[in-house]
Amino acid sequence: MAAMVNQEKIKIGIIGGSGLENPEILKSAKKISVTTKYGKPSSKIITGKIEGIPVAILSRHGSRHEIPPSFIPNQANIAALKKLGCTHIIATTACGSLRHKIRPGDFVFLDQFIDRTIHRRPSMYWKELAFHIPMAEPFCSNLRKLFTNEARKLKFRYHPKGTVVTIEGPRYSSLAESLMFRSWGADVINMSTVPEVVLARESGMHYASIAMSTDYDCWKKSERVDVNMVIKTMNKNVDKVVKLILKIIPKIKTYLDCPCEEDFKHAVQTKD
């Protein structure tokens, strides 16, 4: 049986988190600036408590959504949350559906990724040392189970697993690309999960993603994606995301034998 760490040691980082800044939700809220060896994160970080649990909320694309996907300071974002003592990260992300069964508005609790980015620094140890983190199970299975249990109780439409393909962006896929990603077995597509999930795993943090389908990408010719479609679906469902996160946070635990906390300890190959 897994040994659990005292919940007092838990602190939750939320990346995305639009709607959670409400003072009725976040107690003792304050904005703080954090600097890391990788520079500053995407935004000031809002700290406070939800149901008595310390949380830190970071806006991935900046406070005005001004940072394009390939220029997000992912290393600084993860390092800033780690510096503040975060043990877990709940990431929220919009995604395009590559499957009929995943409808706009559905949640997908990602379990795998395919990396199609080419311009991003893929490691916390880029050019510093040889650091080989296992990635067979990128997302924390304990958090994903919790997501599934709470979504079921709330009667939300959800999918307990799914493979995301992360593209460079900022453009959407061509039709040929969208069809290719479907043939590869990808279920959804976005521009933000990689390298964020990798950096969190390298930092020994429990990371899981609540992906919300906003559209059918462009493979489904009758419903091809555009920005207005994405924004409209996101706005309709932000309350559901908030409700789910509020249910999850008080129930989060951390497990000493979880790969999220163990794999990074043995990943360094560079000799002293």
Q: What is the pLDDT of residue 99?
A: 98
Residues 6+ apart with CB under 8 A from 253: 4, 5, 7, 10, 142
Q: What is the pLDDT of residue 18?
A: 60
Which of 81, 75, 200, 220 lies closest to 143 in space, CA to CA?
A: 200
Distance CA 179, CA 253 (A): 39
State yes or no: is 187 an active-site residue: no
How many angstroms separate the Cα of 47 from the Cα of each of 33, 153, 263?
A: 11, 28, 28
Q: Give the active site residue among 215, 226, 257, 263.
A: 215
CB–CB of 250/52 below 8 Å? yes
Which of 206, 207, 214, 208 lies closest to 189 in space, CA to CA?
A: 214
Distance CA 28, CA 34 (A): 18
List, in sequence order, every residue forming a beta bridge with 213; answer none if it has no partner: 95
State yes or no: is 239 an active-site residue: no
In tens digits, the chain (272 residues) has pLDDT values of 333 444 557 899 999 866 676 667 888 899 999 999 999 999 999 999 999 999 999 999 998 889 999 999 999 999 999 999 999 999 999 999 999 999 999 999 999 999 999 999 999 998 778 889 999 999 999 999 999 999 999 999 999 999 999 999 999 999 999 999 999 999 999 999 999 999 999 999 999 999 999 999 999 987 777 777 788 888 888 899 999 999 999 999 866 678 998 887 887 767 66
Phi then psi for residue 40, to 5 deg, are: -90, 150
Q: Give the active site residue among 106, 217, 257, 272.
A: 217
A 10 A CB-CB count for 251 gives: 12
Residue ranges of domains in the chain, CATH in brackets? 8-266 (3.40.50.1580)
What pTM was computed for the model?
0.92
Residues 6+ apart with CB under 8 A from 139: 109, 110, 111, 112, 197, 207, 208, 209
| 106 three-class SS | coil
Q: What is the pLDDT of residue 5?
A: 40
Q: What is the pLDDT of residue 230?
A: 80
